Chain A
Amino acid sequence: MTEATRLRSRHMVNNVMLGLTGLFTIIIAGALLFILGYLFINGARNLDFAFFTQLPKPTGETGGGMANAIVGSAKILGMATAIGVPIGFLGGVYLAEYGNKSFAFAVRYLTDLLNGVPSIVIGIFAFTLVVLKAKHFSAFAGGMALGLMMIPISVRSTEEFLRAVPNGLREGALALGTPKWRALATVVIPAAKDGIITGIMLNLARVAGETAPLLFTSLNNRFWSPGINQPTSTLPVMIYTYALSPYDDWHRQAWAAGFVLLMLILTINVSARMILSRSRYSGGR
């Protein structure tokens, strides 16, 4: 092969590769836009004010809304955060700042495993632990299942963002005679705060759409469910139930619910990214 042909074939390979990567990018973006657009058209069209304010109508009647599911989702996500985030946060602080090597390695490995456990298995776990014990489905059981799912990512994101804090800040605080816990609480964690909050929000967005664990735990409810000890309606489970029903009106409401859920998740996601991008220590990897 002469130099010229070699050069030409290299150019060709380059162009083909560039073309392929471009093509697949378009396919991915296209698929995403298609899903969003489809959901938007079907969801927004079927969304009305009653959706946010009314309870579901009894089977066979049209109209009504999912006010109880919106509140139920908020309640369960709140509980999940209250359970998963503190545990994950403290674990992450430990791994980043205190952990001895081999123990930290084991903990990291186990959190990664926990992260890989299928959500339905987590659901069965919470079902066995809470629902069977209490002999009834409850919002608490759902919050517990989702909270468990939030732990691994809370641990790892807290750890990552603490590691991204320059060591000079730790040393600066320690060199003033600050006890380590105090340096952590007043300098290191505040410096990583934006990243940690972002991690929590993305984590929340991820579990907000979980359906399988809730089918075993909070189940569903056509009415308001006060407190945390009763079966509770949530958006994902409502979508599941309504979409599988034979009624057109329910299908329409399922679309609307899907749209609302997606908007919720998108909002959380976008605000998380905004927090992170204005952050000074956005470090990460």
Chain B
Amino acid sequence: MSIPMEAHERTPETRVPRASPPMNDPAARATQIADATPAPNVAPAPAALFAAGVGEKMRATDLNFFYGKAQALYNISIRIPTNHVTAFIGPSGCGKSTFLRTLNRMCDTVKGTRVEGDVQLDGEDVFGLDVTSVRRRVGMVFQRSNPFPKSIFDNVAYGLRVNGGLSRAEVAERVERSLVRSALWDEVKHKLHESAYGLSGGQQQRLCIARALAVDPEVLLLDEPCSALDPISTSKIEELLLTLADSCTIVIVTHNMQQAARVSDYTGFFLMGKLVEFDKTEQIFQAPSRKETEDYVTGRFG
């Protein structure tokens, strides 16, 4: 099943960008999935992982990540499907956040880290692109909501103003659209110019989602976005993700297995810095091919 590829010949110390092969031929796609097979001790992803017509938005190939000398990710190879929800699960400290942060190069902000292997966005090496344009295209929502100490409006408008080029009316229109998309508009429309800190935790998190959506990202990364929220706020955000997935590629890290099952189309299971299994969500939860995955999703872990 596995065909040798240049990816496997690469020496670990260098990170050589690689052009993405064409994606329109189903047969070729199947081969690529096999190519993207992770570390040798890991089960290969089934060939027909992506349904016909599902494109590849991002791809990581043989990705290794180091915090100083400590390695946090080992040979991660994965393809993220376009306009679907991909969930990452796994025990604490297994590298989910670290992996997520390599996708928009937020990992660059931590000093003394090192990346090997490559990450592609629409076939382009993200480490070769300008970092600000990568982050504009790949938005991120953090575990702890982090609204700026500004008004609700200014929070959402922030990214638009940084990019520039929009008139005031256009900014106002985009702010409204983003707040509507993040299901916050009705709750805040009468107090757009009040401080964002007056909002509840769940509203603040949706505000952060609106802020990320305002710049129209192609991919939205969410790192445990609901871990500090009550069930009602959580279900609002889950609904939101499902609707967003029509127009945006979503990658969510969660500790909540039910959440992964509810919102995601594909699920990846991380364990100790490795991507143990990546498959359709039903497959992962009903018939995982790896023992570790089964133990984890059935709660028999550790």
Chain A residues in the interface with B (C-beta under 8 A): 166, 168-179, 182, 186-187, 190-191, 280-281
Contacts and interface: CB of A to CB of B under 8 A. Distances in A.
Contacts of A174: 106, 109, 135
Interface in B124-156: 132-137, 139-140, 142, 144, 146-150
A191 B212 CA distance: 20
10 contacts: A169-B148, A172-B208, A175-B212, A176-B135, A176-B215, A177-B135, A177-B162, A179-B132, A187-B158, A191-B148
A176 B208 CA distance: 11
B244 to A, nearest CB: 17
A190 B215 CA distance: 22
Contacts of B109: 170-171, 174
B83 to A, nearest CB: 21
B293 interface: no
Contacts of B139: 175-176
Interface in B185-224: 197, 208, 211-212, 215
Contacts of B158: 173, 176, 178, 186-187
Contact of B146 (A171, A177, A186): A171
Contacts of A191: 148-149
B142 A176 contact: no
A178 B211 CA distance: 13
A171 B140 CA distance: 9
B211 A168 contact: no
A79 B301 CA distance: 66
Given A176-B139, A177-B159, A178-B159, A169 B132 contact: no
Nearest to B211: A176
Contact of B136 (A170, A176, A190): A176
A179 B170 CA distance: 22
Nearest to A172: B146
Nearest to A190: B149
A22 B147 CA distance: 44
Nearest to B112: A101
Nearest to B133: A177
A175 B163 contact: no
Given A176-B135, A176-B212, A171 B148 contact: no
Contacts of A171: 106, 109, 140, 142, 146
Nearest to A183: B162
Given A171-B142, A177-B137, 11 more contacts: A168-B142, A173-B158, A175-B142, A177-B133, A177-B162, A178-B159, A186-B162, A187-B149, A191-B148, A191-B149, A280-B149
A173 B148 contact: yes
A162 to B, nearest CB: 14
Give the 7 A-B residue pairs with the shortest CB-CB distance, closest first: A177-B136, A168-B146, A176-B159, A177-B135, A175-B140, A172-B146, A177-B132
A173 B157 CA distance: 12
Contact of B142 (A172, A190, A280): A172
Contacts of B142: 168, 171-172, 175
The residue in A170, A173, A191 that gathers the most chain B C-beta atoms within 10 A of its C-beta is A173
Contacts of A190: 149-150
A175 B135 contact: yes
B267 interface: no
B223 to A, nearest CB: 10
Contacts of B106: 171, 174-175
Nearest to A169: B146
B280 to A, nearest CB: 29
A171 B148 CA distance: 11
The residue among A170, A175, A176, A186 with the most chain B CB atoms within 10 A of its own CB is: A175
A177 B137 CA distance: 8
Contacts of A176: 135-136, 139, 158-159, 162, 211-212, 215
Interface in B79-117: 104, 106, 109
Contacts of A166: 146
The residue among A166, A176, A179, A280 with the most chain B CB atoms within 10 A of its own CB is A176
B215 A177 contact: yes
Interface in B156-188: 158-159, 162-163
A174 B135 CA distance: 8
Contacts of A172: 142, 146-148, 208, 211
A190 B136 CA distance: 23
Contacts of A182: 162
Contact of A187 (B134, B144, B148): B148
A214 B137 CA distance: 57
Given A176-B211, A177-B163, A280-B149, A168 B144 contact: yes
B95 to A, nearest CB: 18
A190 B151 CA distance: 13
A97 to B, nearest CB: 11
A187 B149 CA distance: 8
A89 B259 CA distance: 46
A166 B197 CA distance: 14
Contacts of B215: 176-177
Contacts of B162: 176-179, 182, 186
A111 to B, nearest CB: 22
Interface in B235-271: none
